[in-house]
C-alpha cells in the first residue's frame, strides 16, 4: 500500500509532525506503518478504492492532556485529525477518516468508567468504554439499572451517541439519554457543558440544560470538538420482560401494520423502539443466500415464498418487548394482540415458542444484554461487506410502503436483494437498508455505491432525508439539505471556521469542510448564474471525490490516462451517467447542472472533465439505438462508452450488417472503456453509398475487438488517454449501428423532458464547459498567487499592481460573459420542449466557440500576469494554459462554428460539419 499524506502536506513536513507527536505521547502511541497496525484504521467494508478515506497515521492519546497536545501539534503543522472513540461504526465507515491522509485520533485508550450512580441511574464514561464493558460492569456490581445497547455492542457508548445511534429499550434514543459532556476544542480549550460548567457541580449528569445555550447536540455528527467524557442515563431494571414476534404474510401488510402501531407507540403501550424486519434480512440469520438461491440478480418472488414457508416467518417480522410486572405485561399483550389481529394471517410468538434465531437475538438486545450475534447477517454472501443506507420517515403506512417500494425497486435494478428494516419511533421511523456487496469485487462495490447515490436522490425528491451515512456519501447527503441555498450547511461552516480556523479537525465530516479545504473566501462579483437545487446536490458529489482527483492528477499527466481510482470515484458519484437517459440507467440531469459539474471537474483536473464530457456526448447515442441494444451497451452501471464522430473508417455492406475497417483518433477515456463508437462511411462494393453525399453510420463495437494505438503524446489534456484505435474487417450487426443522418435532430422517442438538441450538438456543451471550467480554475489560482507573490524588486504583492488589477478584471469579465452565454444556451437546450431546430443549433455553435475563445483568452491573460511562476510544471496555471489551448482546438468549439452561425444569420443553410 502506497503512503498516503494529508492534502497540502509534503512528506518532510508530515514526518516532522509525526516526530513531534512521538516526543509528546511516546513512540508506541503513534502508528504510521500498515504492518504496525495502521491497516486497522481503514474501512473494513471499503466501498471505494483502498486510497479513499485512508489514514496517513494514527495517534492514541491516553488522557485529556494528551488530546490537547495532539491538537496543538496538528494546528502547528496543519495536519488534519479524524477522531474516533473505538472505530466500530460498521457500515458507516468504521475507523476510517473522511479525508484521505488525515491522522486518526484514536481515543480507545481513554477507557475509564469514571462513575456509576445507583441513586439517580447514570454513568460517566470516557470514549473507549464499550457497551459490553459498561453492561458487564453493571452486572458485576449487581446494579439496579440496565444500559441500553445497540445491535452490535462492541462499539463505544460515547461514540454511538455522537453518531446519534439507537438501541431498543425505552431508553433507545441515545442522544436523549445523554447528559453532560467534556469537550476539547481544536485550539485545545476544554469545555464542560450544561450544569457541568459550574465548578463542583452536583447536577452535571442530572440536569441537561444548565444556563444559556445548550451545546451538547452541536458536538454530535459534527467536527467542532473532541468529546472526552459523557454522562449517560441508565434504564431502571424492570420487574420482568418478555420478547415477542409478530409475523406478517404479505408485503402490503407493512402499511396497515404501521398505522396500527403508531398510536400504540404514542400512548406507550409499546414503550420502546421495536423493529420491523424484512424477510431476507431475517433469512440471513439462518444461513447464506446460496442455501436458498444460486442464480443471478435479486431473489425471485417464488423463492421468497419458499423461504417464508421453510423458515415459518413472515414477509415482515416485528420484534417487540413487554416490560413490567406479570400483570402489567399481560395487560399490554392483550391490547397489542387484539390490535394486530386485525391483519389477516398475522401470527404471534413469545421467545421460546419459535426456533427463529432472530427472535432470540432481538430479545437479548431489547433486554439490554450485549450481543454480537447480529453479525450473522454477514454470512449472506461471500466476502460480505455492507453500507447502511438510513432514511427518516414519518410513522405512517403510506410512507413506509413508499420508502420500501422505492428501496426495493432500486435494489432490484442493481441486481441486489432488499434487506431493509424499520425502527419505529414515537412519530418517525428509521428505515435502515444494509446494502450488501462483495468486498473483493470492484464492480459490485461500485454498483452498490451508485445504488446509494440513486436512492439518496430519489428519497430527497420525495422529502425523505438520510440521517446517517457512509463517509463516501457525506457531501451528497449534506447537499440534499438545501433549503435557502444550503443555509444549514453555511451555518455549520461558520461555526466550523470560528472554532477551527486552522481546519484540522475531521475535515469533511457530515459534509462540513473548513475554509482551507472548501476554497478561500475571496471577494466575488454578483453571480448571474444561480445554481439550481439539483446543481448544488451534484456539485456536492464533485466535492466528495475531489481529494481522489487531486491525489491522482499528476499520475494522469505521467501515465497519459486517468487512474482507475479516479474512474471508480466518478462512477461512484454517478457522474459518468449524469446526462444519459434514466431508462438506460442514467440520471438525465438538466444541461445547466451537467455544465456546472463539468466546470467543477475542470477546475480540479481538465482531463477528468474532458473524459466525462466525451462520455456524456457519446452516451447521447443511447437515445438513438434500439432500446434492447442500448440496454445491452449501457446496462452495466460501471461501464464507459467512448468514441469518435469523425467518419475515418469504412463500413462495407454485408448480410445483416457491415464489415468495419479503419483508424480513428481521440478515443478519450479509452483506458477504462468497455465500448467504442466508430463513425464510418458506408460502402457497397467498395464504393461510397448515398445519393446526395456519402452515407455516414455510427457503429458500436466492444473494446475487446479493437486494437488501441499508443499515440497520445501531447501538449495538453495529457490525462485523457485520447489514443487512436483501429479495426480491420470486423462484422458489426445492423442493430448495433445508427444512421448518421438522424443524428442531426433530437431522437424521435426521447424522454418527455428530453434535451431539445441533436447528438452532434450535444458534444458542444462538454467541450465548452471544460474550457470554461479551466478558465474559472485559472482565475482562482491566479488570485491566490497575486495575494501571496511579491515580484523581485517590487514593494508590494502582485495584487497591489494597477496593471494586474485591470487585466484581472478583464479576464474576469471574459469568463463571466462566457458563463452567462453557456448557461442561457443550456437552458434553451433543456427546456425548449421540442426540436429546437436550426436556430437553436446555430445558437449553440456560436455560443460554444465564443465560450472557448473567451476562456482561452482569459487564461492567456492570467498566465502572462503570473510571470515566471506559471512556467513551472508544479503550478496549476501552467497546466491550465496547456489544457485550455488543447481543448479549444477541438472541432466542437473551433472558429468554424462561428462561420456557420454567421452564414445562417445571413439567410444561408446551416451546413453542419462533423
Q: What is the DSSP letter of 519?
A: -
Residue-wise DSSP of 285-325: TTS-GGGT--SSSSPPHHHHHHHHHHHT--SEEEEEEEES-
Contact of 890 with 765, CB cutoff 8 Å: no
In angstroms, the CA 815 to CA 852 distance is: 10
State residue 752's pLDDT score.
35
Q: Residue range 562-567: average pLDDT?
A: 90
Q: With contact defined as beta carbons under 8 Å apart, do 765 and 845 qualify?
A: no
Mean pLDDT of 833-853: 81
pLDDT tier at 833, thresholds 50, 70, 90: very low
| DSSP 8-state class, residue 326 | H
Q: Select the more confidently predicted residue: 835 or 609.
A: 609
Beta bridge partners of 438: 384
Cβ(453)–Cβ(470) under 8 Å? no
H or E element that contains 483: helix 483-499
Of 620, 579, 623, nearest to 597 by C-alpha is: 579
Query: Could you tell me what percentage of the chain is helix, strand and coil, using 3-state DSSP and rounding each to the nearest 5?
Result: 45, 15, 35
Would you state the cell numbers that stand for residue 814, as one nine-digit string? 471574459
Q: Is 60 exceeded by the pLDDT of residue 214?
A: yes
> For residue 12, how many other CB atoms are within 10 A of its CB?
7
**Rounded CA separation 131/137 (Å):** 10
Mean pLDDT of 596-625: 91
> How many CB atoms sit inside 10 A of residue 411's CB?
22
Compute the mean pLDDT over every residue in the chain, rounded to the nearest whole number: 90
Report the alpha-carbon angle 163-166-172, nearest 5.
Answer: 135
Q: Residue 644 is placed in which grid cell?
A: 469518435
Angle at 430 between CA 428 and CA 436, to 5 degrees: 165
Cell of 912: 453542419
Residue 12 has pLDDT above 90, yes or no: no
Length of the chain: 914
CATH class of 759-905: mainly alpha
Which grid coordinates are listed for 143?
A: 446494579
| pLDDT average, residue stretch 25-31 | 96
Check whether 737 has a pLDDT greater than 90. yes
Q: What is the DSSP letter of 531?
A: P
Q: What is the pLDDT of residue 751?
A: 46
Is the model's pLDDT at 696 over the cut of 60? yes
Strand, coil or helix: what is 669?
coil
In this prediction, what percent of the chain has a pLDDT beyond 70? 95
- CA 56 to chain centroid: 22
C-alpha cell at 395: 410513522
Q: What's the rounded Cα separation, in Å, for the pair 912 and 905?
A: 14
Give alpha helix (H) positions in 46-92: 64-77
Cross-strand pairs, 104: 58, 82
User: Which has the closest alpha carbon to 425: 396, 402, 403?
Assistant: 396
Quickly tell me which residue has 501552467 as its cell. Answer: 878
Contact 309, 319 (CB under 8 A): no
Band the pLDDT of 100: cuts 50, 70, 90. confident
Cβ atoms of 387 and 47 within 8 Å: the answer is yes
Per-residue pLDDT band for 843 (boundaries 50, 70, 90) equals confident
The topology under which CATH files domain 618-744 is: Butyryl-CoA Dehydrogenase, subunit A; domain 2 (2.40.110)
Does residue 196 surpass a pLDDT of 90?
Answer: yes
The region that residue 87 occupies, defined by phi over 0 for left and psi between -120 and 50 for alpha, beta otherwise, is: left
The terminus-to-terminus CA distance of the chain in angstroms comes to 46
Residue 828 cell numbers, joined: 434553451
User: Per-residue pLDDT for 638 more than 60?
Assistant: yes
pLDDT tens readout for residues 403-446: 999 999 999 999 999 999 999 999 999 999 999 999 998 888 88
- In whole angstroms, give the CA distance from residue 485 to residue 539: 13
1-110+504-518 is a CATH 3.30.43.10 domain: yes
Report which DSSP code applies to 173. B
Q: Is the pLDDT of residue 841 over 90?
A: no
pLDDT at 289 over 80: yes
Are the CB atoms for 64 and 184 separated by under 8 Å? yes
**Three-class DSSP category at 610:** helix
User: Are 183 and 171 contacting, i.e. CB atoms less than 8 angstroms apart?
Assistant: no
- In angstroms, the CA 387 to CA 400 distance is 21
Q: What integer pLDDT is reported at residue 798 of this predicted model? A: 80
The answer to which of 146-155, 162-171, 743-752, 847-856 has the lowest mean pLDDT is 743-752
Side-chain-side CA neighbours of residue 823 (13 Å): 18
| pLDDT confidence tier of residue 525, bands split at 50, 70 and 90 | low
Buried b (16+ CB within 10 A) or exposed e, 309-325: eebebbbbbbbbbbbbe
Q: Is the pLDDT of residue 522 over 50?
A: no
Q: If phi over 0 gives left and psi between -120 and 50 gives alpha, with beta otherwise, what is residue 508?
A: left
Alpha helices in 533-605 (DSSP H): 533-551, 553-559, 564-573, 591-604
C-alpha distances (whole Å) from 845 to each of 590, 611, 826, 902 are 19, 20, 12, 10
Domain definitions of the chain by residue range: 1-110+504-518, 113-236, 241-476, 618-744, 759-905
More confident residue, 501 or 755: 501
What does the alpha-carbon distance between residue 417 and residue 558 come to, in Å, rounded to a whole number?
42
* Cβ neighbours around 236 below 10 Å, total: 12
Cell numbers linked to 557: 499527466
Looking at residue 750, its pLDDT comes to 53
CB 245 within 8 A of CB 359: yes
| Cβ 724 vs Cβ 664: under 8 Å | yes
pLDDT digits (tens, 9 = 90+) for 109-139: 999 999 999 999 999 999 999 999 999 999 9
| C-alpha–C-alpha distance, residues 479 and 544, integer Å | 11
Is CATH 3.30.465.10 the right assignment for the domain spanning 113-236?
Answer: yes
- Contacts of 751 by beta carbon, 8 Å cutoff, 6+ apart: 581, 582, 583, 588, 623
Pairwise CA distance, residues 608 & 773, whole Å:
11
* Range from 374-378, 773-777, 889-893 that averages highest in pLDDT: 773-777
DSSP letter for 166, please. Answer: B
CA angle 560, 563, 564 (to 5 degrees): 140
* Highest mean pLDDT pick, 323-332, 552-561, 741-750: 323-332
Check pLDDT > 70 for residue 363. Answer: yes
Helices and strands, number each (H, E), in the chain: 25, 28
Q: Assess contact for 272 and 170: CB atoms under 8 A.
A: yes
For residue 208, is pLDDT > 50?
yes
Burial class of residue 587 (count of CB atoms within 10 Å of its CB; 0-12, 13-18, 19+): buried
The Cα 513–Cα 503 span in angstroms is: 8
The Cα 570–Cα 446 span in angstroms is 10
Least confident of 11-20, 65-74, 233-242: 11-20
- Confidence check: pLDDT of 748 > 80: no
Phi, psi of 374 (to 5 degrees): -65, -15
Whether 1-110+504-518 shares its CATH topology with 241-476 is answered no
With 50 as the cut, is the pLDDT of residue 846 above it? yes
Residue, of 531 and 478, whose pLDDT is higher: 478
For residue 911, how many other CB atoms are within 10 A of its CB? 10
What class does CATH assign to 241-476? alpha beta
Evaluate if residue 519 carries a pLDDT over 80: no
Helix (H, G, I), strand (E, B) or coil at 870: helix
Q: Which of 855, 778, 782 is nearest to 816 (CA)?
A: 855
The set of residues, in sequence order, having a beta carbon less than 8 Å from that of 546 and lying 6+ positions away, is 604
**Identity of the highest mean pLDDT range in 247-261, 544-558, 564-578, 765-779:** 247-261
Amino acid at each position: 500500500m502506497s503512503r498516503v499524506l494529508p492534502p497540502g502536506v509534503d512528506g518532510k513536513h508530515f514526518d516532522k509532525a509525526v516526530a513531534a507527536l512521538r516526543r509528546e505521547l511516546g513512540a508506541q502511541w503513534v502508528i504510521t506503518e500498515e504492518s504496525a497496525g495502521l491497516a486497522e484504521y481503514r474501512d473494513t467494508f471499503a466501498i471505494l478504492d483502498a486510497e479513499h478515506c485512508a489514514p496517513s497515521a494514527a495517534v492514541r492519546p491516553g488522557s485529556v492532556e494528551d488530546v490537547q497536545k495532539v491538537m496543538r501539534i496538528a494546528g502547528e503543522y496543519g495536519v488534519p485529525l479524524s477522531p474516533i472513540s473505538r472505530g466500530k461504526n460498521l457500515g458507516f465507515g468504521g475507523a476510517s477518516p473522511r479525508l484521505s491522509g488525515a491522522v486518526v485520533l484514536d481515543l480507545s485508550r481513554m477507557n475509564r468508567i469514571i462513575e456509576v450512580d445507583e441513586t439517580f441511574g447514570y454513568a460517566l464514561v470516557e470514549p473507549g468504554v464499550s457497551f459490553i464493558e459498561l453492561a458487564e460492569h453493571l452486572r458485576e456490581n449487581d446494579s439496579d439499572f440496565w444500559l441500553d445497547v445497540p445491535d452490535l455492542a462492541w462499539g463505544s457508548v460515547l461514540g454511538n451517541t455522537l453518531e446519534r445511534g439507537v438501541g431498543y429499550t425505552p431508553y433507545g434514543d441515545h442522544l436523549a439519554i445523554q447528559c453532560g459532556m467534556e469537550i476539547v476544542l481544536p485550539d485545545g480549550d476544554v469545555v464542560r457543558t450544561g450544569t457541568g460548567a459550574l465548578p463542583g457541580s452536583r447536577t452535571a449528569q442530572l440536569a441537561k440544560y444548565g444556563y444559556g445555550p445548550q451545546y451538547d447536540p452541536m458536538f454530535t455528527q459534527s467536527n467542532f470538538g473532541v468529546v472526552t467524557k459523557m454522562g449517560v442515563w441508565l434504564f431502571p431494571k424492570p420487574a420482568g420482560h418478555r420478547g415477542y414476534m409478530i409475523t406478517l404474510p404479505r408485503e402490503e401488510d407493512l402499511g396497515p401494520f404501521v398505522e396500527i402501531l403508531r398510536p400504540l407507540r404514542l400512548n406507550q403501550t409499546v414503550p420502546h423502539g421495536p423493529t420491523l424486519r424484512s424477510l431476507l434480512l431475517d433469512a440471513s440469520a439462518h444461513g447464506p443466500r446460496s442455501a436458498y438461491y444460486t442464480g443471478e440478480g435479486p431473489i425471485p418472488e417464488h423463492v421468497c415464498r419458499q423461504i417464508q414457508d421453510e423458515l415459518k416467518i413472515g414477509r415482515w417480522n416485528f420484534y417487540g418487548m413487554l416490560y413490567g410486572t406479570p400483570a402489567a405485561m399481560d395487560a399490554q399483550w392483550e391490547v397489542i394482540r387484539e390490535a394486530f389481529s386485525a391483519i389477516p394471517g398475522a401470527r404471534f410468538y413469545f421467545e421460546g415458542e419459535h426456533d427463529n434465531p432472530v427472535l432470540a437475538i432481538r430479545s437479548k438486545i431489547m433486554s439490554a444484554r450485549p450481543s454480537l450475534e447480529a453479525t450473522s447477517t454477514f454470512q449472506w454472501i461471500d466476502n460480505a461487506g455492507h453500507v447502511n443506507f438510513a432514511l427518516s420517515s414519518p410513522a405512517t403506512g403510506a410512507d413506509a410502503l413508499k420508502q420500501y417500494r422505492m428501496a426495493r425497486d432500486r435494489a432490484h435494478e442493481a441486481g441486489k436483494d432488499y434487506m431493509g428494516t424499520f425502527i419505529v419511533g414515537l412519530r418517525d421511523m428509521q428505515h435502515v437498508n444494509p446494502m450488501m456487496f462483495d468486498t473483493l469485487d470492484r464492480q459490485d462495490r461500485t454498483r452498490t455505491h451508485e445504488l446509494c447515490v440513486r436512492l439518496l436522490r430519489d428519497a430527497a425528491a420525495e422529502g425523505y432525508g438520510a440521517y446517517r451515512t457512509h463517509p463516501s456519501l457525506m457531501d451528497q447527503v449534506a447537499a440534499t439539505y438545501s433549503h435557502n441555498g444550503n443555509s444549514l450547511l453555511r451555518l455549520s461552516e461558520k461555526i466550523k471556521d470560528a472554532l477551527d480556523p486552522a481546519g484540522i479537525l475531521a475535515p469533511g465530516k457530515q459534509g462540513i469542510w473548513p475554509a482551507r479545504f472548501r476554497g478561500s473566501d475571496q471577494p466575488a462579483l454578483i453571480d448571474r448564474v444561480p445554481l439550481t437545487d439539483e446543481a448544488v446536490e451534484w456539485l456536492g458529489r464533485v466535492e466528495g471525490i475531489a481529494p481522489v482527483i487531486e491525489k491522482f492528477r499528476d499520475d494522469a499527466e505521467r501515465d497519459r490516462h486517468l487512474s482507475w481510482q479516479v474512474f471508480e470515484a466518478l462512477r461512484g458519484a454517478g457522474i459518468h451517467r449524469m446526462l444519459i437517459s434514466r431508462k438506460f440507467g442514467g440520471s438525465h440531469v438538466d444541461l445547466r447542472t451537467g455544465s456546472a459539474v463539468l466546470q467543477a471537474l475542470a477546475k480540479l483536473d481538465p482531463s477528468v472533465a474532458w473524459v466525462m464530457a466525451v462520455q456524456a456526448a457519446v452516451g447521447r447515442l443511447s437515445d438513438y439505438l434500439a432500446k434492447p441494444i442500448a440496454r445491452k451497451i449501457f446496462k452495466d452501471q460501471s461501464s464507459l462508452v467512448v468514441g469518435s464522430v469523425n467518419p475515418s473508417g469504412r463500413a462495407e455492406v454485408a448480410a445483416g450488417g457491415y464489415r468495419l475497417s479503419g483508424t480513428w483518433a481521440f478515443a478519450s477515456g479509452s483506458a477504462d472503456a468497455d465500448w467504442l463508437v466508430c463513425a464510418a462511411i458506408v460502402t457497397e462494393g467498395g464504393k461510397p453509398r448515398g445519393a446526395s453525399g456519402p452515407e455516414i453510420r455510427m457503429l458500436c463495437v466492444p473494446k475487446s475487438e479493437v486494437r488501441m494505438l499508443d499515440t497520445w503524446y501531447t501538449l495538453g489534456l495529457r490525462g485523457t488517454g485520447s489514443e487512436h484505435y483501429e479495426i480491420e474487417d470486423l462484422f458489426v450487426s445492423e442493430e448495433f449501428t445508427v444512421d448518421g443522418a438522424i443524428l442531426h435532430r433530437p431522437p424521435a422517442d426521447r424522454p418527455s423532458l428530453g434535451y431539445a438538441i441533436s447528438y452532434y450538438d450535444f458534444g458542444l456543451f462538454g467541450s465548452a464547459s471544460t474550457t470554461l471550467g479551466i478558465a474559472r480554475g485559472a482565475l482562482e489560482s491566479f488570485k491566490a498567487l497575486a495575494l501571496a507573490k511579491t515580484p523581485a524588486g517590487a514593494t508590494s504583492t502582485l495584487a497591489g499592481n494597477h496593471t494586474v488589477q485591470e487585466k484581472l478584471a478583464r479576464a474576469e469579465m471574459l469568463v463571466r460573459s462566457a458563463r452567462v452565454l453557456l448557461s442561457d444556451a443550456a437552458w434553451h437546450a433543456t427546456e425548449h420542449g421540442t426540436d429546437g431546430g436550426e436556430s437553436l443549433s446555430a445558437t449553440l455553435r456560436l455560443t460554444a466557440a465564443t465560450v472557448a475563445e473567451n476562456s482561452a483568452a482569459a487564461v492567456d491573460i492570467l498566465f502572462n500576469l503570473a510571470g515566471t511562476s506559471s512556467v513551472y510544471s508544479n503550478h496549476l496555471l501552467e497546466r491550465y494554459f496547456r489544457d485550455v489551448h488543447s481543448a479549444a482546438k477541438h472541432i466542437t468549439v473551433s472558429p468554424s462554428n462561428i462561420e456557420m452561425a454567421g452564414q445562417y444569420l445571413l439567410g444561408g443553410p446551416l451546413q453542419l460539419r462533423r
